[in-house]
A and B are shown apart, each in its own frame.
Chain A
């Protein structure tokens, strides 16, 4: 099973949004196409590799190994989405593992090669960073919303406290 990297294919990747074919080629040159079997681990929780991954075909899953020994699947990553970007831009151990759910074809971009592009003032590298910022900002916004909802929910729980419910039952609904 082979997959040919074309500029048409890469143009669909959000991380490569708004790039000219020549810029896409520049990035393709420093990337490797990788293939994984179902169940193979691509990135290990706690590991410190600095690669940016883009799914071109197949599905991956993000798995967190709990301290109780159980695995929790946090998300699945579908074609054209990326992972590994947090460690890529900010070195830290991976917070979860990513493994192949199906046969997957991935594009791997290494940190060193990327830094070379930056040093050469390559516009493609800066565009990639700009796109990554947008993707991360989206994710941050979703997180903010989620936190806000969580807080609201807590407030709701406080306002339906048993005692005020009891009071309402006896003084409003059943004040006979």
Chain B
């Protein structure tokens, strides 16, 4: 099983509970459209390189399709297809008016110069521009892509269709981007963490937190929770973990990382530990914010945290999920926990379409509202139906997509 396949497993878990027939499941899972294109460029050294670009448009019953565009050598159709479906459930569970999509190019962005990357991006747009757009399918940054790539995308798309800032999100703030988008996913993770602790009757200052992964999501989650008075006792990145039982001085850690090329490597004011040690620390909250597939069955037995907030996509294998349930470790699922990013993308799109710019305070206020409401919905359903938070989230997502499909007239 590859990490993204867990998504399908969790879909079926919820579909079983809803007692959906095989044909209805097939209807819900089958993507609306799958696009595969050739992306060939002449490289800086004169070589000809050919890559494959994908865009899978999974479902648009609730609105234009939305999802990241990733540049990674391992990207293939299976992965993109699965992630596109995940976006459908994610946008539905946080109730923003989008369907789900995902795209990618099997290129290693570290091996390409910025000039080459720009060519790859523009050719990809040349190939798919007729099938995407502000009312159809709106890409966003993902693994291996960033605001700059989105700016190239928008620029190339606009050559065909005229001024269209809403054709992608996650653009640079200077080019119709959203102030506050960078922090949005981490902020969303932080909000659901505080809400969950509140439901458990815990005060933030009594709680210890460990965060695996100190990239965009990890840093903003740490910053948000630190400001909310939580005690962040450990953080980690590819260089290893850094542990301080009394709580790390997060502003100090952030300053260090800024001056150290974005790496925690060598951070002096904490005890170095391994990534594995971080994941088994005796803490209240454990936040995986790096890659998928972190928790397998054996690690799940060692975890000592009371609560896991899935900031990364798909950090928990199904067997591990079962063990967490048996051990009564509360897992707050990725499809809601990290939905702050796509929610902020929605705000960016709304502003682009209105040609009106919100201030950062409004962005934060609206984000807090959507994340809080989503949390509440999922929590209440889980309690009411006595199911896991993950299953509750999928049920809400599938239910909304299903109802929209039915109300739209269903199938002929």
Contacts and interface: CB of A to CB of B under 8 A. Distances in A.
A171 B406 contact: yes
A171 B21 contact: no
Nearest to A169: B18
A169 to B, nearest CB: 6
B20 A169 contact: yes
B23 interface: yes
Contacts of A175: 399, 403
B406 A167 contact: yes
A167 B23 CA distance: 14
A137 interface: no
Given A174-B18, A174-B395, A176-B395, A162 B23 contact: yes
Contacts of A165: 21
Chief secondary structure at chain B's binding surface: helix
Contacts of A174: 18, 395, 399
Given A171-B403, A171-B406, A176-B381, A162 B395 contact: no
Interface in B333-383: 377, 381
Interface in A133-176: 162-163, 165-167, 169-171, 174-176
A170 B406 contact: yes
B402 A176 contact: no
A162 B21 CA distance: 7
A174 B19 CA distance: 11
A163 B409 CA distance: 11
A166 B21 contact: yes
B105 interface: no
Contacts of B23: 162
Contacts of A171: 403, 406
Contacts of A169: 18-20, 402
B373 to A, nearest CB: 13
A176 B382 CA distance: 11
A163 B18 contact: no
B399 A176 contact: yes
B143 interface: no
B21 A170 contact: no
A162 B27 CA distance: 11
B300 to A, nearest CB: 29
B396 interface: yes
B411 A170 contact: no
B24 interface: yes
Nearest to A163: B410
Contacts of B403: 170-171, 175
B396 A176 contact: yes
B395 A166 contact: no
A174 B20 CA distance: 12
A6 to B, nearest CB: 64
A170 B402 contact: yes
Contacts of A162: 21, 23-24
Nearest to B411: A163
Contacts of A167: 406
B407 to A, nearest CB: 9
A169 B401 CA distance: 13
A170 B410 contact: no
Interface string B1-40: 0000000000000000011110110000000000000000
Contacts of B396: 176
Nearest to B404: A170
Nearest to B403: A170
B157 to A, nearest CB: 36
Given A171-B406, A176-B381, A166 B20 contact: yes
Contacts of B20: 166, 169
A165 B396 CA distance: 18
A167 B18 CA distance: 11
Contacts of B19: 169
B399 A166 contact: no
Nearest to A165: B21
A167 B411 CA distance: 12
13 contacts: A162-B23, A162-B24, A165-B21, A166-B21, A169-B18, A169-B20, A170-B18, A170-B399, A170-B406, A174-B395, A175-B399, A176-B396, A176-B399
Interface of B: 18-21, 23-24, 377, 381, 395-396, 399, 402-403, 406, 410-411
- 3 tightest CB-CB pairs across the interface, nearest first? A170-B402, A166-B24, A170-B403
